[in-house]
């Protein structure tokens, strides 16, 4: 079974959505069994998990060690998180971290350490904080995990 993890930005500009959705669908469309790994954060992580679940692919939810729902975003983001979490095949709750940035970093590292491939919905810029997308991509590359970057050229994120 191929395990495909995701990392990505929380706020995705409309201009990248079609490209990102097509890229995720392509990554998940394999001739072999696939498992998806996601922390279910708003944006790219939830989009990836939703597409996987809609294709019948089992999803492992990797829950950072913190009061996660308090940092997910607005009520709509929390509701989407809960809905997707209810459909996940497996839930991996990580140990409590001293800060939410360290919790995000630990979740990103767990996903990379357990993935055969990583999908990064990433604009190519450095992470805006510890545990951000750029940092997780760098970690994956250091570990030799293949990374597929999905982003439309010339589009900036909010």
DSSP one-letter string for 5-53:
EEEE-SS--HHHHHHHHHHHHHHH--SS-EEEEE---TTHHHHHHHHHH
Q: What is the pLDDT of residues 24-69, one digit of tens each?
A: 999 999 889 999 999 999 999 999 999 999 999 999 999 999 999 9
Nearby residues of 91 by Cβ (< 8 Å), 6 or more positions away: 60, 61, 63, 85
* pTM: predicted TM-score of the whole model, two decimal places: 0.96
Would you give per-residue pLDDT tens digits along the chain (158 residues)? 999 999 999 999 999 999 999 999 999 998 899 999 999 999 999 999 999 999 999 999 999 999 999 988 889 999 999 999 999 999 999 999 999 999 999 999 999 999 999 999 999 998 888 899 999 999 999 999 999 999 999 998 88
DSSP 51-75: HHHHTT--EEEEE-SS-GGGGS-SH
pLDDT at res. 113: 98
Q: Which residue, among 88, 81, 94, has the nearest Cα to 40 in the 3D structure? A: 81
Two structure tokens written together for 94: 């990580």
- pLDDT computed for residue 61 by the predictor: 98
């Amino acid at each position: 079974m191929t395990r495909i993890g995701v990392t990505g930005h929380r706020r995705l500009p409309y201009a990248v959505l079609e490209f990102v959705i097509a890229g995720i669908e392509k990554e998940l469309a394999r001739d072999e069994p696939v498992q998806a790994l996601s922390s279910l954060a708003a944006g790219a992580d939830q989009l990836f998990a939703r597409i996987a679940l809609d294709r019948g692919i089992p999803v492992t939810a990797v829950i950072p060690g913190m009061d996660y729902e308090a940092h997910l975003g607005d009520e709509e983001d929390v509701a989407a998180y809960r809905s997707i979490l209810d459909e996940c095949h497996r839930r991996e709750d990580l140990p409590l971290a001293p800060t939410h940035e360290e919790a995000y970093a630990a979740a990103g590292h767990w996903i990379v350490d357990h993935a055969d491939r990583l999908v990064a919905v990433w604009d190519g810029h450095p992470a805006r904080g510890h545990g951000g997308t750029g940092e997780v991509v760098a970690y994956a590359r250091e570990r030799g995990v293949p990374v597929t970057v999905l982003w439309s050229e010339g589009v900036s994120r909010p």
